Chains A and B, each alone.
Chain A
Amino acid sequence: MTSAPGTVRAVRTGPGDVGGLGAPRLLWAPAALAVGLLVLPVVALVVRADWSSLLSDITSPAALAALRLSLLTSLVATAICVVLGVPLAVLLARASGWVSEVLRALVTLPLVLPPTVGGIALLYLLGRRGLLGQSLDAWFGIRLPFTTAAVVIAGAFVAMPFLVLGLEGALRTAGTQYEVVAATLGASRWTVLWRITLPLVAPGLVSGTVLCFARALGEFGATALFAGNTPGVTQTMPLAIYSAFNGAGVTQGAAVALSLLLVAAAIVVLLVARAWRPGRVG
């Protein structure tokens, strides 16, 4: 399209682009308040920290045990979410009709449910007298509640929707046209999945996995009810922070130190995820 002299040409704006209209100035005030609400609490945490005892608080055996347990259970929970959630996301993205609608709603449920409710629900399912737990105990002698495995299950329960919904959105956006081309080129469904579908949504898969991990790392409510708060076994960072804050064993200073550690861990995870952008799609 050619534009006659004197006409205003629409400028495509993007990040760092000074052209375009810009947003109404009125948005600045609420936006600034939003930033304050999100950032100031973390600032307060940093200010409140007792820097002299920070290192010893963080490196105390209890803190290290909690950190190790948190990382381990979150990693395992994330792995479970990937192994089970990716197939679910692929099926949801390619399915249509009411079954997929219902499934999508069910997948979203742990996202909107208070985690404590999730914890109670897990107890009623997998507890010693639970729906499945009864049989697990009777047939295999497996008792899940208040074990490290329970921490993993609680983490997977609350974190799975982040992966499934994020990946499903990416799959829907990617569409099926590349898959169709690959199929007519002779690729089997497995080949299409591994060589086309998943690589194309790799950024969505990575961000979904990171969110999933972050959510598992921060999980508190479901873990507290379903797994308990046993140091070294089920006491993850959030539970250790809660215990410390309530003055059970450690000081509030330790709670602050542990919180800072968790904040730092979360920031590292997010930065790593941002830096890694596989298979740039252009």
Chain B
Amino acid sequence: MSDAAWERRMSGGEVLRGRVRVRRGDFALDVAIEARPGGIVAVVGPNGAGKSTLLGALAGLLAVDDARITSGDRVLTDTAGGVHVGAERRSAVLLGQDALVFPHLSVRENVAFAPRAAGVRRAQARRSADEWLAAVGLDGFADRRPGQLSGGQRQRVALARALAARPSVLLLDEPFAQLDVRTAAELRDLVREQVRGTGAAAVLVTHDVVDALTLADHVLVLHDGVVVEEGTPLDVLTDPVHAFTAALAGLNLMAGTVVDDGERVLVGDDGPRLPLAGVVTAAGGEPVPGARAQLTFPPAAVSVVGVADRGWDSVVVDVEPGPAAVRVRTTGDVLVDLAPADAATLDLRLGAPLRLAVASSAARLRALPDA
């Protein structure tokens, strides 16, 4: 490719669309995903949900059973049509947990790698590398060896190297996971800014709710290979459907049956009765008595009440530091955040009984399909 052609080459501006089915023994992945230019789709889910498999398929590094992946009007994978564009011609760049900066090349040579591989002249590639290094805040680091950099700097080099390839698709696989909190925050800002600026379509695999909330404009929750819920980060995380999403959002989720015996309550599967008066009902309709439903509520909305008060009995399972002061895990994985004053006066030995109540105004009720 001539230097001028490289300069003219569109970077980004293409919608990434993928429908991917992969079967590996007992595991099956079946996902549809769409990422708009300049936007970031976060894929969250527990280990083994298929997140990395999805990225591998999008990058063209994995054999897929049944898939159609397109970037703009370029077909990258189409099993029905027998199309499989190799990883090196997809314009889909990976940025992983490990920066994987080439250890035998200088910082500048790392960033110039993609233009050089595309046939751009050395001088031009070096100039472009220096510009990208400036863009990620690494002015003056061009001649360093990767071994001389901190973890955050290496990840910046990896980002600059990825962007210098002018990718249409940016595949981010927990790129902030190994960084300290401050460095991760800086890199998040940089990634958001650069994805918007370059118009790449980005897919971000993450475990971190902060990534999803601060970066993504769309969230997919993957569980056992299928998308269990999706939407804007705010919708998904304030009104989670799936237990994993609730945990990610830091919410308690209690599934049970709605009962109306004078007052409407949710009888949890572990036995507790939670009054439903004043509870917000999620879109999807009011569950009728006898129907399955789930209640989500923040740990801070749970309080410890007296034995004669309305509430449910549970025991202390675990005690750990929490946002208020102390976070207590109780029966049925219900988390309770306690302020110092409360925590100090309560008996919080493991196995100690606690009577709990939830502030109904902070809880959301959602009807569930019948089991």
Contact = CB atoms under 8 A, between A and B. Distances in A.
A185 B100 contact: no
B118 A186 contact: yes
A196 B100 CA distance: 12
Nearest to B164: A185
Contact of A186 (B59, B91, B105, B146): B91
Contact of B87 (A180, A195, A199, A281): A180
Nearest to A278: B104
B147 to A, nearest CB: 3
B88 A186 contact: yes
Nearest to A192: B88
B35 to A, nearest CB: 16
A180 B117 CA distance: 14
Contacts of B114: 185-187
A196 to B, nearest CB: 6
A181 B94 contact: yes
Interface in B226-247: none
A180 B87 CA distance: 8
B92 interface: yes
Find the residue from B89, B90, B93, B113 having the highest chain A CB count within 10 A. Answer: B113
A202 B104 CA distance: 10
B318 interface: no
B61 interface: yes
Contacts, number: 70
Interface residues of B, number: 29
A188 B100 CA distance: 18
Contacts of A186: 88-89, 91, 114, 117-118, 165
Contacts of A280: 104, 145, 147
B59 A184 contact: yes
Contact of A282 (B90, B98, B146): B146
Given A177-B98, A180-B87, A282-B146, A185 B162 contact: yes
B102 interface: yes
Nearest to A181: B100
A182 interface: yes
A195 B88 CA distance: 14
A100 interface: no
Interface of B: 59, 61, 86-94, 96, 98, 100, 102-105, 113-114, 117-118, 145-147, 161-162, 165, 171
9 contacts: A180-B87, A181-B100, A183-B86, A184-B90, A184-B92, A186-B91, A186-B117, A186-B165, A281-B104
Given A182-B117, A184-B94, 20 more contacts: A177-B100, A180-B61, A180-B94, A181-B100, A181-B102, A182-B102, A182-B113, A183-B61, A184-B59, A184-B87, A184-B92, A185-B88, A185-B114, A185-B162, A187-B117, A188-B117, A195-B113, A202-B104, A281-B104, A282-B147
Interface of A: 177-178, 180-189, 191, 195-196, 199-200, 202, 279-282
The 8 closest A-B CB pairs, nearest first, are A282-B147, A279-B104, A187-B117, A185-B114, A183-B87, A199-B104, A183-B88, A281-B103
